[in-house]
Structure 1
Amino acid sequence: MSRYRVTSVADVHEEGGTVFTVRDEHGGDEEVLLVPCEDGVEAWVNRCTHEPQRLYREGVGATVRNGEVVCPRHGSMFDTCSGHCDNGEAADTTLVDVEITVEDGQVYLTDDDVQYLHDGLKQDDEDDETPSSTSHIQF
């Protein structure tokens, strides 16, 4: 099993979340969202399950409220620990997880199906427009 140190648990909790980019087993680049979960951290693909909408956006970050990540487009809320959504357009779905390991307060990418590329969002992505929200939740 390979592993790559991504960040610290303290930094994820302090920032409310962070994102990094990996290459999947098919050669595609994917963003991974790290979010605080109780005393630890969880990792999810940075995409709503309802539409291909980023949960973490450049200059905005991820909106996390009461232990849930809020989709900026429709307001669906995903539990930061389980990834499950029980409301809105994405109800009864779960975010795609990415395997990480936390050891001595450090977060390591340990998912053998992906390779770490860099911190931050994908560099060549042109379709990250600010969503036109249809949600009743105000940001």
Structure 2
Amino acid sequence: MFFHRAYIPFVEMSERARLTTVETVRENRSWLFTIRDQYGEKDEAILVPCEDGVEAWINRCTHESQRLDAGRGAAIRDGKIICPKHGSMFDSCSGYCDNGEAADTTLPTVEIDVDGDTVYLTDDAATFVHEGGIDDGDGNVDEDDDDDGPASTSHIGL
């Protein structure tokens, strides 16, 4: 007797990983965490407050991949995440930038779910690694900029 085995592709679904609370994100202005993408590479993401709760974005300006939160909290003013290098401002709820060097771009989203006050990572293309930035192996966050923060050419003062 011949049995035909059908090929069923294996699709790994992300488990719902607890990240933090909405209250913590609101108190700290942002919450930095490390994920592993679908290719196994580490990346950084940030949670930011928005009028409807919180949103999650990849932690890079769309202009020059500048980190929006280098471990000291993202600069946020009037519901906009401010790139510390050139001052482009991204709407914290939509991720859209309407000014500066990154105008007409949108931050890449990271899917989350809020249940009560708890924020969960639900993105099928990402796995939670740890709170904070990417670890360089010595317990320090990898940073291309110096300890004083990025050199800024922005016209916006913080």
Normalised TM-score (structure 1): 0.95
Query: Whole-Å Cα distance in 2 between the matches of residues 56 and 18 of structure 1?
Result: 9
Q: 1:12-31 counterparts in 2 under 5 A?
A: 12-31=25-44
Q: 1:80-95 counterparts in 2 under 5 A?
A: 80-95=92-107
Query: Whole-Å Cα distance in 1 between the matches of residues 81 and 143 of structure 2?
Result: 23
5+ residue gaps, structure 1: none
Q: Secondary structure at the match of 2:74?
A: strand
Q: Which consecutive segments of 4 or more residues in structure 1 shift more than 3 A?
A: none
Query: Whole-Å Cα distance in 2 between the matches of residues 40 and 52 of structure 1?
Result: 26
5+ residue gaps, structure 2: 1-12, 137-141
Asked whether 1:41 is paired with 2:60, we answer: no
Letter in 2 for 1:127: D
Q: Secondary structure at the match of 1:89?
A: helix
Aligned length: 138
Corresponding residue for 2:64? 51
Q: Tell me how far 1:126 sits from its aligned partner.
A: 4.3
**Which of the pair has more CA radius of gyration?**
2
1:71-107 Cα distance to aligned partner (Å, 9 max, x none): 0000000000000000000000000000000011110
Letter in 1 for 2:156: I
Q: Percent identity?
A: 59
1:41-88 Cα distance to aligned partner (Å, 9 max, x none): 000000000011000012x31000000000000000000000000000
Query: Whole-Å Cα distance in 2 between the matches of residues 57 and 90 of structure 1?
Result: 18
Q: Tell me how far 1:128 sits from its aligned partner.
A: 3.9
Corresponding residue for 1:132? 151
Please tell me whether the aligned partners of residues 70 and 143 of structure 2 are also in contact (alpha carbons under 8 angstroms).
no
Higher strand proportion: 1
1:103-125 Cα distance to aligned partner (Å, 9 max, x none): 11110000011110000000112
Please report the RMSD computed on the Cα atoms of aligned residues, expressed in angstroms. Answer: 1.1
Corresponding residue for 1:63? 75
Query: Whole-Å Cα distance in 1 between the matches of residues 61 and 25 of structure 2?
Result: 20
Please tell me whether the aligned partners of residues 44 and 134 of structure 2 are also in contact (alpha carbons under 8 angstroms).
yes
Corresponding residue for 2:10? none
Query: Whole-Å Cα distance in 2 between the matches of residues 126 and 44 of structure 1?
Result: 18
Query: Whole-Å Cα distance in 1 between the matches of residues 101 and 69 of structure 2?
Result: 18
Please tell me whether the aligned partners of residues 34 and 43 of structure 1 are also in contact (alpha carbons under 8 angstroms).
yes
Query: Whole-Å Cα distance in 2 between the matches of residues 127 and 74 of structure 1?
Result: 16
Query: Whole-Å Cα distance in 2 between the matches of residues 100 and 94 of structure 1?
Result: 17
Please tell me whether the aligned partners of residues 54 and 128 of structure 1 are also in contact (alpha carbons under 8 angstroms).
no
Please tell me whether the aligned partners of residues 78 and 84 of structure 1 are also in contact (alpha carbons under 8 angstroms).
yes
